[in-house]
């Protein structure tokens, strides 16, 4: 005679079984979405492996949000970069809102591309012979006109220590910053600490003075004349006594305290 043994499934088991049924698809979906969320904006890299690495691209020029002045119409900018690929390249296409140009198939590339006035976006798309592709973008701004040339001014002065001693061989640098370029002039101080800069660009300058063994000085300066004077004082860097550090100082203090305590207990 056969005996039928009734089997019952606990409610908890049924609950977890049903929950797992719906949880697995959600987990799979999250695993597919997370890489897309973490991906770098403006860059799409092929997921097909070719050799030991994937296809990648680095745009050297222009930089993100770079500003250009151009007096030639239509406006052009030079786009350069480097491509890394384990297999030969098929093409490098550089494009903007004004059109595209084939930049060849070499790992180092450079192309002159037409761009629109105002805001524009450069897109560099690279494809290898296996069909993998990657693209990277750069946002730029272009305005019409010639760069305004700042006035040239002369700045002279003396570099000394707090005691008034001259500092020879100090590097004095002026920097005139504009959105689209920076003008820098560098000279060194003479034996008597004096210096002279005859062709600094513009009235607003960032001046820095550097000398090994001294604390560097940087100042924002605004001049209003063609001939100007700017003196600087460099503080010598304090060097610790040879063989005597803060650790040794602490040990010496502790030793003195121990000796004092022993003397009191005797």
pLDDT tens digits, the chain, 266 residues: what are they? 444 444 444 455 454 455 455 555 555 555 555 554 444 444 443 434 334 458 999 999 999 988 887 777 888 889 999 999 999 999 999 999 999 999 999 999 999 999 998 899 999 999 999 999 899 999 999 887 655 666 889 999 999 999 999 999 999 999 988 766 678 899 999 999 999 999 898 888 999 999 999 999 999 999 988 999 999 999 999 765 555 555 565 666 766 666 666 666 66
Q: Sketch the domain layout of the chain as residue ranges.
A: 56-144, 152-233
Please check whether the two domains, 56-144 and 152-233, share a CATH topology: yes
Residues across the chain: 266
CA distance 61 to 83: 13
CATH top-level class of 152-233 = mainly beta
Three-state secondary-structure class, residue 33: helix
Give the H/E segment covering residue 17. Answer: helix 11-38
Q: Taking the CA atoms of 57, 63, 65 and 71 in sequence, report the sign of the dihedral they define.
A: negative
CB-CB contact of 154 with 229 (8 Å): no
**What does CATH list as the number for 56-144?**
2.60.40.10
């Amino acid at each position: 005679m056969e005996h039928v043994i009734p089997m019952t499934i606990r409610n908890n088991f049924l609950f977890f079984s049903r929950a797992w049924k719906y949880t697995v698809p959600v987990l799979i979906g999250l695993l597919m979405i997370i890489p897309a969320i973490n991906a770098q904006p403006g860059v799409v890299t092929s997921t097909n492996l070719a050799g030991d690495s994937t296809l990648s691209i680095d745009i050297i020029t222009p930089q993100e949000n770079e500003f250009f002045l151009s007096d030639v119409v239509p406006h052009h900018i030079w786009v350069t970069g480097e491509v890394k690929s384990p297999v030969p390249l098929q093409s490098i296409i550089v494009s903007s809102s004004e059109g595209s140009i084939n930049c060849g198939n070499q790992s180092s590339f450079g192309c002159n591309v037409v761009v629109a006035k105002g805001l524009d976006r450069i897109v560099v798309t690279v494809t290898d012979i296996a069909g993998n592709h990657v693209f990277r973008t750069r946002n730029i701004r272009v305005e019409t006109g010639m760069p305004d040339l700042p006035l040239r001014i002369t700045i002279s002065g003396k570099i000394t220590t707090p005691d008034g001693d001259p500092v020879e061989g100090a590097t004095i640098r002026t920097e005139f910053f504009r959105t689209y370029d920076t003008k820098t002039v560098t000279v060194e101080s003479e034996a008597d600490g004096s210096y002279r800069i005859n062709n600094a660009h513009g009235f607003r300058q960032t001046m820095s003075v550097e000398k090994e063994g001294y604390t560097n000085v940087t100042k924002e300066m605004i001049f209003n004349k063609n001939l100007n004077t700017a003196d600087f004082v460099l503080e010598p860097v304090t060097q610790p006594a040879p063989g005597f550090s803060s650790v040794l100082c602490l040990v010496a203090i502790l030793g003195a305290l121990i000796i004092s305590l022993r003397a009191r207990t005797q």
